[in-house]
């Protein structure tokens, strides 16, 4: 999920954005029968789907076909998605402004976990919770879509390691240490205020505790300094649950540099490529940056609130005059290719950010039914069936299993 200051989701209604011209820069890739077969044959793991927060403000029953969003059961089954990490996202404001909101970070996270459990409760024959790698494999064998949990923003830990255990018991299997603002754990890549110069003292303790507990450390959103400190501290592989490559978006700290990719390889971790156009091409990145500045200037000039009707009208007019430059499947493939070139085939996977990047998704990859199109692109670029299986899910499963193994050894040692 992108920070609210630049997210299309926060500035454009779905209908307004859907009406925008969306001419692909290259011809869309359409799945062949082989691609469709591979998508059904192999476990597909997507480590970042923002369904719980989406349903907080626009509820739909995702056990059935839905009108909005990018995820529901029929589309997941069509696309071959087998393990969809549900993002337990808490806005930074819940930590920054205690007492000003209905929920604190921990309460909000618990609420969103309740929502995921309710999804499984409504369709127990189609969905299954997944606390371990074996759960994912068993659900796959039973024809169920696994819904493991990842916490986006570590704010719900609230400075208490007991809360790490609490959320582990509730099923959280990765934690994104920060989000769009620095928090009590880590500096954020988006934040100008990097007062910790990486991780906080508590954040360093949390990294060690996550290793011991068996929770994957997610370095998406953290600052470069925090990333390299995690690399030094973690005894288990880490993930970037929904990041892409800075090579294609110069100056975007939210994406990973080549140096970081090399360090991630040495750590044994995996980068899960984000599908948002903003993360994929410099054209889309610059469009968002320029638009955000113009919107901010308009708000300040007219002394308006972010949600004022006049602001929304300004945004809609801006979009009409400056159509959004959507990325394509080929841009996603370029990020995968470069990751393989720098780090290797064993260190890349899928972290789409569906339901988290508004309507900025690439042509041909608009929802979870689209994974066969991505598989077709991989086939066309010469990836073997074995390599495709790694990208789709085996690499992430390997990391998850290693994190479980490190935790098991820690338990035995104690």
* Per-residue pLDDT tens digits for 297-318: 999 999 999 999 999 999 999 9
The answer to whether residue 303 sits within a structural domain is yes
pLDDT-derived band of residue 53, with 50, 70 and 90 as boundaries?
Answer: very high
pLDDT value, residue 4: 44
Tell me which H or E stretch contains 93. helix 93-96
pLDDT value, residue 106: 97
pLDDT at 378 over 50: yes
Q: What is the mean pLDDT of residues 92-121?
A: 92
Residue 335 in contact with residue 273, Cβ under 8 Å? yes
The answer to whether residue 1 sits within a structural domain is no
The answer to whether residue 184 sits within a structural domain is yes
The answer to whether residue 245 sits within a structural domain is yes
Q: What is the mean pLDDT of residues 39-52?
A: 98
pLDDT value, residue 412: 83
pLDDT value, residue 27: 56
The answer to whether residue 239 sits within a structural domain is yes
The answer to whether residue 2 sits within a structural domain is no
Q: What is the value of pTM for the model shown?
A: 0.93
Residue 346 in contact with residue 42, Cβ under 8 Å? no
pLDDT value, residue 110: 98
Instruction: Return the higher-pLDDT residue of 57 and 304.
Output: 304
Q: What is the mean pLDDT of residues 394-408?
A: 98
Q: What is the mean pLDDT of residues 85-100?
A: 90
CB count within 10 Å of CB 118 equals: 12
**Phi, psi dihedrals of residue 397, rounded to the nearest 5°:** -65, -40
pLDDT value, residue 101: 79
Q: Which domain holds residue 168?
A: 8-413
Q: What is the mean pLDDT of residues 15-41?
A: 68
DSSP code string of 344-359: -GGGEEE---BTTSTT
Say which residues have a Cβ less than 8 Å from residue 364's Cβ, sequence separation at least 6: 24, 28, 29, 30, 328, 329, 370, 373
Q: What is the pLDDT of residues 253-300, one digit of tens each?
A: 999 999 999 999 999 999 999 999 999 999 999 999 999 999 999 999
pLDDT value, residue 3: 57
Q: Which range is least confidently modeled, 13-27, 115-129, 365-379?
A: 13-27
Instruction: Return the higher-pLDDT residue of 99 and 380.
Output: 380
The answer to whether residue 3 sits within a structural domain is no
pLDDT value, residue 100: 75
pLDDT value, residue 14: 32
For 337-375, b/e burial (b = at least 16 CB within 10 A) is: bbbbebbebbbbbbbbbbbbbbbbbbbbbbbbbbbbbbb
3-class state of residue 96 by DSSP: helix
**Phi, psi dihedrals of residue 79, rounded to the nearest 5°:** -85, -10
Q: Measured between alpha carbons, how far is residue 376 from residues 266, 343, 364 in Å?
A: 30, 22, 11
pLDDT value, residue 360: 96
CATH of residue 400's domain is: 3.20.20.140
Q: What is the pLDDT of residues 157-197, one digit of tens each?
A: 999 999 999 999 999 999 999 999 999 999 999 999 899 99
pLDDT at 326 over 90: yes
Query: Across the chain, what does the average pLDDT equal?
Result: 93
pLDDT at 332 over 80: yes
Provide the number of structural domains found in the chain. 1
Instruction: Return the higher-pLDDT residue of 103 and 336.
Output: 336
Q: What is the mean pLDDT of residues 243-259?
A: 98
Task: Name beta bridge partners: 87.
Answer: 150
């Amino acid at each position: 999920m992108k920070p609210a200051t630049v997210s299309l989701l926060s500035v454009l209604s779905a209908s307004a954005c859907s009406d925008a011209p969306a001419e692909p820069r290259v011809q869309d890739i359409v799945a062949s029968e082989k691609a469709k077969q591979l998508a059904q044959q192999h476990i597909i793991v997507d480590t970042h789907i923002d369904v719980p927060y989406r349903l907080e403000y626009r509820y739909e029953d995702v056990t059935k076909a839905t009108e909005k969003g990018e995820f529901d059961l029929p589309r997941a089954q069509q696309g071959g998605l087998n393990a969809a990490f549900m993002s337990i996202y808490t806005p930074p404001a819940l930590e920054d402004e205690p007492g000003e909101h209905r929920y604190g970070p921990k309460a909000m996270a618990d609420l969103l976990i309740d929502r995921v459990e309710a999804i499984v409760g409504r369709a127990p024959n189609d969905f299954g919770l997944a606390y371990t790698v074996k759960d994912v494999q068993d659900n796959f064998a039973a024809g169920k879509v696994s819904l493991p949990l990842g916490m986006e923003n570590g704010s719900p830990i609230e400075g208490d390691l007991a809360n790490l255990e609490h959320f582990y018991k509730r099923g959280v299997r990765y934690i994104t240490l920060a989000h769009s603002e620095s928090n009590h754990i880590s500096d954020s890549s988006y934040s100008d205020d990097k007062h910790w110069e990486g991780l906080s003292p508590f954040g360093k303790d949390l990294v060690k505790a996550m290793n011991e507990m068996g929770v994957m450390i997610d370095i998406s959103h953290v600052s470069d300094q925090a990333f390299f400190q995690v690399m030094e501290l973690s005894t288990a592989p880490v993930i970037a649950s929904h990041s892409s490559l800075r090579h294609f978006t110069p100056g975007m700290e939210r994406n990973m540099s080549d140096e970081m990719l090399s360090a991630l390889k040495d750590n044994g971790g995996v980068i899960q490529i984000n599908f948002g156009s903003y993360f994929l091409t410099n054209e889309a990145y610059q469009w968002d940056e320029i638009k955000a500045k113009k919107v901010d200037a308009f708000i300040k000039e007219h002394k308006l609130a972010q949600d004022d009707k006049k602001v929304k009208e300004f945004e809609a007019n801006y979009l009409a005059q400056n159509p959004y430059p959507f990325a394509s499947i080929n841009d996603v493939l370029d990020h995968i290719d470069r990751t393989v070139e720098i780090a290797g085939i064993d260190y890349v996977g899928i972290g789409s950010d569906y339901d988290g990047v508004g309507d900025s998704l690439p042509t041909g990859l608009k929802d979870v039914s689209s994974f066969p199109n991505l598989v077709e692109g991989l086939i066309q670029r010469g990836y073997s069936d074995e390599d495709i299986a790694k990208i789709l899910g085996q690499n992430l499963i390997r990391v998850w299993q290693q994190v479980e193994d490190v935790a098991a050894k820690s338990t035995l040692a104690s």
